[in-house]
Amino acid sequence: MTTTTFYSHIDAELANIRSAGLFKTERIITTPQAADIDTTERAHVINLCANNYLGLSSHPKAIAAAKHAIDTHGYGLSSVRFICGTQDLHKQLERKIADFLGMEDAILYAAAFDANGGLFEPLFGEQDAIISDALNHASIIDGIRLCKAQRLRYAHNDMADLERCLKEASSARSRIIFTDGVFSMDGTIAQLDTICDLATQYGALVGIDECHASGFMGKTGRGTHEFRNVMGRIDIITGTFGKALGGASGGFTAAKAPVVELLRQRSRPYLFSNTLAPSIAGASIAVLDLLSESTALRDKLEENTRYFRAAIQEAGFDIKPGEHPIVPIMIYDAVKAQALSKRLLELGVYAVGFFYPVVPQGQARIRVQISAGHERHHLEKAVAVFKQAGTDLGIIGGKA
Ligand SMILES: *Cc1c(COP(=O)(O)O)cnc(C)c1O
């Protein structure tokens, strides 16, 4: 017996990934996360692919609050929450995020991946049913896999198919509809108004993952539930501090107090993984204070998004229509999308191509994400660079 079989299997898998053209390499950034960054390949590129929707990843207030929390509360706690890993900062952050979202209570996790991973198993058993959008995030799918409830899946964003699932699940003890609030590939915003109406009609709970929404969707940035006018009708919200809300890391689940209490008792990623670092808790509190005092950042993001969506279409590109700062610029052809991404970087714009199997065949695109950290000149330059690169490669303008 030798271990050679194992290692040759690993080599073969890597070779398969490479030959399928799916091997992912990482660009290396040498500056803080921002609108304008340096990479090891090129200095001064406009970043159009961070989840830094509000420009808070390197915001002076977030940095100052993180430093202050290190001074007052230390670097780390070396403990899970229930042994000796809970500080006043963690309790304050749980209170603030629950209030911000309009929910009763909240519980923190190391990441939203863990919030979703630890959500379903403690709350739903064999007699229950979980009804899930077909394009839900991987962490939701994994979380559902870990629990024994009956699983039903509806076609993406298809409300008639959701209703079919609700009928099918009518004999379950309880049922929950769970969906991304915003889907990250297309920027599609879930139809929470219709979903809540169906949930009421069929006696179902509603849960949403707000990773691409918390902090900026809706008039005061509370999220997709505010955008769709269903605040108060959502039972469970999961989300991240790792995107718009400062971008460091950390996740949460917000719900009614007894639900949060049961998660504290039983949710495995909460019980068996380290507490959030004090600096992140402190900075996240400062971010929520900032966003509660003023809607200036989410307003600027909305304005930037409107400008960019119009300007990139004006330049001759197709986009998926919508309102979200995720703007899928449709190239359709995978090879062209990759070539465009490469040319954009040479010209000073960092934007990544997505192609099959991440998106359907023939739907290759450059997905850009607009930020409140972008100034108008960044966006103007980005559009000009897209125009030039698109013309160079014969993607726009009719030239080969
Ligand atoms: C990014 C993302 C997550 C994971 O968030 P982390 O805090 O980085 O683990 C979960 N769900 C959705 C929909 C996401 O977009």
- Altogether, the residues listed in the chain come to a count of 400
Q: What pLDDT was estimated at residue 400?
A: 41
Residue 12 has pLDDT above 50, yes or no: yes
Residues 6 or more apart from 102 whose CB is under 8 A from it? 222, 225, 226, 231, 232
3-state SS of the chain: helix, strand, coil percent to 5?
A: 40, 15, 40
352-382 tens-digit pLDDT? 999 888 888 999 999 999 999 999 999 999 9
Q: What is the mean pLDDT of the chain?
A: 96
Q: What pLDDT was estimated at residue 357?
A: 85
Task: Return the residue whose CA atom lies nearest to atom 5 of ligand 1.
Answer: 112
- For the CA of 250, the closest atom of ligand 1 is 7
Q: In 279-399, where do the E strands start and end?
A: 318-319, 326-332, 349-350, 352-354, 364-369
240 ligand 1 Cβ < 6 A: yes
CA 3 to chain centre: 39
Enter the pTM of the model.
Answer: 0.97
16-27 tens-digit pLDDT? 999 987 888 899
Cα(341) to centroid of ligand 1, in Å? 24
Per the listing, tokens 């403690």 go with: 122
- For the CA of 136, the closest atom of ligand 1 is 13
Task: Out of 144, 183, 240, 354, give the residue to mutate to test ligand 1, the one with the largest number of ligand atoms within 8 Å of its CB.
Answer: 240
53 ligand 1 Cβ < 6 A: no
Q: What pLDDT was estimated at residue 20?
A: 85
**Which of 17-21, 119-123, 155-159 is least confident?**
17-21
Residues 6 or more apart from 255 whose CB is under 8 A from it? 103, 104, 105, 106, 235, 236, 237, 263
- Closest alpha carbon to 120 in 18, 262, 2: 262
What distance in Å separates the CA atoms of residue 81 and residue 381, rounded to the nearest whole number? Answer: 47
Query: In this structure, how many other beta carbons lie within 10 angstroms of the beta carbon of residue 14?
Result: 11
Q: What is the DSSP string of 208-220?
A: EE-TTTTTTSSTT
Cα of first residue to Cα of last residue in the chain, in angstroms, is 58
Cα(240) to centroid of ligand 1, in Å? 6
Cα(209) to centroid of ligand 1, in Å? 8
Q: What pLDDT was estimated at residue 397?
A: 84
- For the CA of 251, the closest atom of ligand 1 is 7
133 ligand 1 Cβ < 6 A: no
Residues with catalytic annotation? 184, 212, 243
Residue 399 has pLDDT above 90, yes or no: no
What distance in Å separates the CA atoms of residue 149 and residue 120, rounded to the nearest whole number? Answer: 8
